Amino acid sequence: MNKNIAIGAAFIISLLFFGCGKRNVYHLEAKNNANESITNVSVMINNSEITLGVIAPNAHAFYGFVSARHPLPEKFSITWTTPDGVQHEKTLAVKGQIPESFDEITIYVTIDSDNEVELSWEEDAVAKERLQSGGGVRKL
């Protein structure tokens, strides 16, 4: 009888610790696909600013575990300044573009040389595989 109680207690504790569903953990990565550095890069999520700073040409800035502070929003805005001093801002719809339930993903915001912005995402397991194989990003 005591063994069954111990097994049951261990099961309940594991559910509390690990959860019984999707974790909805997400990270944010901004990519600069332009030929010049961009500065003052920041993302507004749920009225809170995440500063990413300067992103060199063809480089990226990563901000991990955004979900610990911000649930997945319906939309977010990204701002940046180009070398000519012009500040740009784009608002991106997130709801409907990203699954509502997931374990762990990275959301990519890619800025190109025409200051157009693309939103994409990939699951954590896919990200690890991509790093190992040199493959691409899953586009929306």
State the Cα–Cα distance between residues 127 and 104, nearest whole angstrom.
Answer: 10
Please report, for the chain, the start and end positions of each structural domain, with discontinuous segments joined by +: 22-133
Confidence of residue 30 (pLDDT cuts 50, 70, 90): very high
pLDDT of 49-107, one tens digit each?
999 999 999 999 988 888 877 888 899 999 999 999 999 999 999 888 888 888 888 89
In this structure, CATH architecture of domain 22-133 = Sandwich (2.60)
State both tokens at 91: 């608002």
Confidence (pLDDT) at 68: 76
Confidence (pLDDT) at 67: 80
**Exposed / middle / buried, residue 138 (Cβ in 10 Å: 0-12, 13-18, 19+):** middle
Apex 89 CA angle, 126 and 36, nearest 5:
70
Cβ atoms of 62 and 28 closer than 8 Å: yes
Average pLDDT over residues 95-121: 90
State the Cα–Cα distance between residues 92 and 43, nearest whole angstrom.
Answer: 10
Confidence (pLDDT) at 3: 58
Considering only 24-28, 29-33, 34-38, 121-125, which range has the smallest mean pLDDT?
121-125
Calculate the CA 62 to chain-centre distance: 8
State both tokens at 38: 């961009």
Confidence of residue 112 (pLDDT cuts 50, 70, 90): very high
Of 107, 106, 112, the residue nearest 94 (C-alpha) = 107
- Does residue 127 carry a pLDDT above 60? no
**What is the DSSP code string of 54-93?**
EE-TTEEEEE--GGGTSPPPSEEEEEEE-TTS-EEEEEEE
